[in-house]
């Protein structure tokens, strides 16, 4: 697809801009990953799915990709959890990290090239702080911690468009969870407390025993693996300030170079109109999806039905609609696979769908438009398959286009085989139904059908016999 314009919204400039990798070949992306102290909620995974869409569309455009997603495995919340339980921070984070990867794979989020852990990159963090101290952009305070002096960095606030009147020079904030009402000097290196030492969250440094600040971790890992200037830095909209603003300050303060060419942010997932947050008690996890038999394809469809820069409201009705949508797509995928040939018109319909989906995805990842074009393709293609054409080339074209579209959206439910016990039971009940119909006992046959459907199995009577499949 060389030569095709690819546009992304850049939070830094507040504009849609044409994008291409700096070296013309490989897109270098840093995505802020989870803080692994408890399982990520579906609001987090909406952001991770937007980033999955981004990498798949980049691949569709023909570029290579190198994506780094960090795992924050040391911060206030992790240390508090470890301290309360009398264990090390590693014992807190290891099982949660496994859950994150299990959840990510369930949702078919592609692997990033690297998942570095903060605790493995302490030397790189200390090196950045040294450079900032040397440049007089950071200072050692009387509490033994090193702070970034935001009044010494003239571009502070350029990402969040922070009013300079909100900057409180000399006011300090040490904790990771702090008010976003104003900007204050933030901790780069925190002097060790007894609970830090007790939980294995303290390291030696030129300024004494301590640990890194949350913002510092990302700058160190991003520049370690992607260079001093990235192509794209992305995350949730809630990270713009203070996290990403502070990343810019410390990274550009240390190197004198732009930290990232593009900044891309995904909007919130709401639950019945409320922002999904742990404190609200309305958190849903990927495990909840599994428990409710909601396929990964349905959640992907639901997320992609709204543009990543618009708020998305999650409700039972919306998820049910997405489940029905992916069932339609799955039925079409099965029909397309089983077809022998088609009408010549199908080739034209496929080409139109290909062009519409590609144009939408290359225009700031417009997945809702792409999904709409996919469903139009399904409807028109089904009509052509009904006509029993003999053109094998048109069918091959349709299959190729469908595979290409689904390689990005990935909204076809997995064709997992049925549970063996369920399959045996269904076959037995269908045999009983067949006997009842042969004996013209239609009330009994209808009762058996209802019994089968109550188990989540859909049945269809065809000239070649009765077919069945699990409805979910």
**Start and end residues for every CATH 1.20.120 domain found in the chain:** 315-409
Fold of 7-271: Rossmann fold (3.40.50)
Which CATH code for domain 315-409? 1.20.120
- What span, in angstroms and rounded, lies between the C-alpha atoms of 414 and 126? 46
Confidence of residue 417 (pLDDT cuts 50, 70, 90): low
Average pLDDT for residues 256-283, to the nearest whole number? 80
Please name which of 254, 265, 145, 154 lies closest in space to residue 205, comparing C-alpha atoms: 145
Q: Are 212 and 204 in contact (CB under 8 A)?
A: no
Confidence of residue 383 (pLDDT cuts 50, 70, 90): very high
Confidence of residue 456 (pLDDT cuts 50, 70, 90): confident
Residues contacting residue 109 through CB under 8 Å, at least 6 positions apart: 45, 48, 49, 51, 52
For 353-382, how does the pLDDT look when each residue is reduced to its tens digit (9 = 90+)? 999 999 999 999 999 999 999 999 999 999
Query: What pLDDT is stored for residue 179 in this prediction?
Result: 54
Query: What pLDDT is stored for residue 211 in this prediction?
Result: 97
Please name which of 285, 447, 459, 300 lies closest in space to residue 371, comparing C-alpha atoms: 300
Query: What pLDDT is stored for residue 280 in this prediction?
Result: 46
Query: What pLDDT is stored for residue 463 in this prediction?
Result: 74
For 197-216, how does the pLDDT look when each residue is reduced to its tens digit (9 = 90+)? 999 999 999 999 999 999 99
Average pLDDT for residues 14-36, to the nearest whole number? 98
Rg (the chain; Cα; Å):
27
Confidence of residue 242 (pLDDT cuts 50, 70, 90): very high
**Start and end residues for every CATH 3.40.50.620 domain found in the chain:** 7-271
């Amino acid at each position: 697809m060389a030569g095709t314009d690819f546009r992304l919204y850049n939070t830094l400039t507040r504009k849609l801009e044409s994008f291409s990798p700096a070296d013309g070949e490989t897109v270098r992306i840093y995505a802020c990953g989870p803080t692994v102290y408890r399982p990520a909620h579906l609001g987090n995974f909406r952001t991770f799915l937007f980033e999955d869409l981004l990498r798949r569309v980049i691949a569709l455009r023909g570029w290579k990709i190198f994506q780094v997603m960090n795992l924050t495995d040391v911060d206030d919340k992790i240390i508090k959890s470890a301290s309360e339980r009398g264990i090390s921070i590693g014992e807190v984070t290891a099982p949660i990290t496994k859950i994150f990867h299990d959840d990510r794979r369930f949702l078919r989020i592609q692997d990033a090239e690297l998942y570095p852990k903060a605790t493995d990159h302490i030397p790189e963090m200390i090196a950045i702080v040294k450079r900032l101290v040397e440049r007089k952009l950071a200072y050692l305070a009387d509490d033994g911690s090193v702070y970034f002096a935001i009044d010494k960095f003239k571009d502070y606030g350029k990402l969040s468009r922070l009013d300079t009147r909100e900057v409180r020079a000399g006011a300090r904030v040490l904790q990771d969870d702090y008010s976003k009402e104003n900007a204050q000097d933030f901790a780069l290196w925190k002097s060790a407390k007894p609970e830090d030492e007790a939980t294995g969250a303290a390291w030696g440094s030129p300024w004494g025993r301590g640990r890194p600040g949350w913002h510092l971790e990302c700058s160190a890992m991003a520049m370690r693996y992607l260079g001093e200037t990235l192509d794209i830095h992305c995350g949730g909209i809630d990270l713009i300030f203070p996290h990403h603003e502070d990343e810019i300050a410390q990274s550009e303060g240390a190197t004198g170079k732009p930290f990232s060419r593009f900044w891309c942010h995904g909007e919130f997932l709401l639950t019945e109109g409320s922002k999904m947050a742990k404190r609200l008690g309305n958190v849903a996890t990927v495990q909840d999806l599994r428990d409710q038999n909601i396929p990964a394809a349905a959640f992907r469809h639901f997320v992609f039905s709204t543009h990543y820069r618009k708020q998305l409201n999650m409700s039972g009705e919306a998820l049910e609609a997405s489940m029905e949508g992916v069932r339609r797509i799955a039925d079409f995928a099965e029909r397309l696979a089983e077809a022998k040939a088609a009408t010549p018109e199908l080739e034209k319909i496929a080409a139109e769908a290909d062009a519409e989906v590609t144009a939408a995805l290359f225009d700031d990842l417009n997945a809702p438009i792409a999904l709409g074009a996919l469903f139009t393709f399904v409807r028109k293609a089904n009509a052509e398959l009904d006509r029993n054409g003999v053109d094998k080339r048109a069918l091959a074209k349709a299959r190729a286009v469908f595979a290409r579209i689904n390689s990005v959206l990935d909204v076809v439910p997995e064709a997992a085989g049925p549970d063996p016990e369920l399959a045996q039971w269904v076959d037995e009940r269908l045999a009983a139904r067949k006997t009842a119909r042969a004996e013209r006992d239609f009330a009994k046959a209808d009762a058996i059908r209802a019994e089968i459907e109550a188990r989540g199995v859909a049945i269809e009577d065809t000239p070649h016999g009765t077919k069945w499949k699990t409805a979910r």
